[in-house]
Amino acid sequence: MSAAALRFTDLRCGYGDTVVVRGVGGLAQTGRVLGVVGRNGVGKSTLLKALAGFLPLLGGQLHWQGQDLTRVPAHARLQAGIAYAPQENVVFGELSVAENLWLHLPDRRGARYAAALAAFPRLEERLRQRAGLLSGGERKLLSFTRTLGLQAPLSMLDEPTEGVQPENIDRMAALVNAAKAAGRGFVVVEQNLAFIEQNLAFIEQIADEVLVLDHGACVFAGDFAALGRQALERHLQV
Ligand SMILES: Nc1ncnc2c1ncn2[C@@H]1O[C@H](COP(=O)(O)OP(=O)(O)OP(=O)(O)O)[C@@H](O)[C@H]1O
Ligand SMILES: [Mg+2]
């Protein structure tokens, strides 16, 4: 097994007696982006919640850098180097934008947010405002910025571009690619195929590998380039 990798095998997870994700396996590596795509309700967020430790596994195995994570709780997964930005409830609305960014970080100095705040001046202007006053897209940007700033070896982002303005989606892609070049890895759930930069959607700008889900099962896994735009569109058509 390659050293800094999250390997999952034959995962089963769901809610109560309802199994939503079954038999799904994959490999997320540092320095790479694994895209997870599929239509509404196929189980993308359920898979990410299970990988992050917010849903118990009903079956399957999960290893990170050779360590068995199957029964390791969510907070310990973050300490082990796996960050997670959920699809919903992404910020603490009563706290300021700055407090949201620094909440879990004992050392408040440093340049960990400099690149993202330069890319998103609207956030920088509003550092002292309550995060609850931000628009939905701005909240997603704040959540993205906070997660990126953790500089975790692996970050899992659930539909980070939902509601975000196109020019900012481009900047998000550039920031992910810079973090990737610095050796960090990502698992990114996406559904938005709108063309942004040079006829490439966000996920096309960043993904190296891809996992396509349908009805909770994996229907394609492999190189993103091997999937191709047409197949991608077909998998996402309602
Ligand atoms: N907390 C929950 N309790 C029970 N069922 C749930 C819960 N959350 C999701 N589900 C169900 O699990 C299935 C998969 O949902 P999930 O949110 O994983 O899909 P998704 O692929 O992320 O969809 P979307 O693209 O809309 O975000 C759906 O049928 C959904 O209704
Ligand atoms: Mg979802």
Say which CATH number the domain at 13 has.
3.40.50.300
101 part of a folded domain: no
227 part of a folded domain: yes
50 part of a folded domain: yes
Q: Ligand 2 center to residue 110 CA distance, Å?
A: 33
Structure tokens at 154: 């692996």
Closest to 110 (Cα-Cα) out of 149, 152, 154, 155: 149
Q: Whose CA is nearest to atom 9 of ligand 1?
A: 46
Residue 133 contacts residue 105 (beta carbons within 8 Å): no
CA distances from 164 to 52, 104, 140 (A): 24, 25, 7
124 part of a folded domain: no
Map 85-122 to HEC letters. ECCCCCCCCCCEHHHHHHCCCCCCCCCCCHHHHHHCHH
Give the count of domains, the chain: 1
Neighbours of 12 (CB within 10 A): 16
pLDDT (0 to 100) of residue 17 = 87
**Which residues approach ligand 1 with their CB closer than 6 A?**
15, 20, 38, 40-46, 87, 191
Domain of residue 146: give its range.
5-90+140-236
177 part of a folded domain: yes
231 part of a folded domain: yes
Taking only the tens place, the pLDDT of each residue in 58-87 is 999 999 998 999 999 999 999 999 999 999
Pairing of strands 18-29, 5-15: antiparallel
Taking only the tens place, the pLDDT of each residue in 3-46 is 579 999 999 999 998 999 999 999 999 999 999 999 999 999 99
Q: Whose CA is nearest to atom 17 of ligand 1?
A: 45
Structure tokens at 40: 């509404």
Neighbours of 109 (CB within 10 A): 7
114 part of a folded domain: no
Taking only the tens place, the pLDDT of each residue in 194-226 is 777 667 899 999 999 999 999 999 999 999 999
161 part of a folded domain: yes
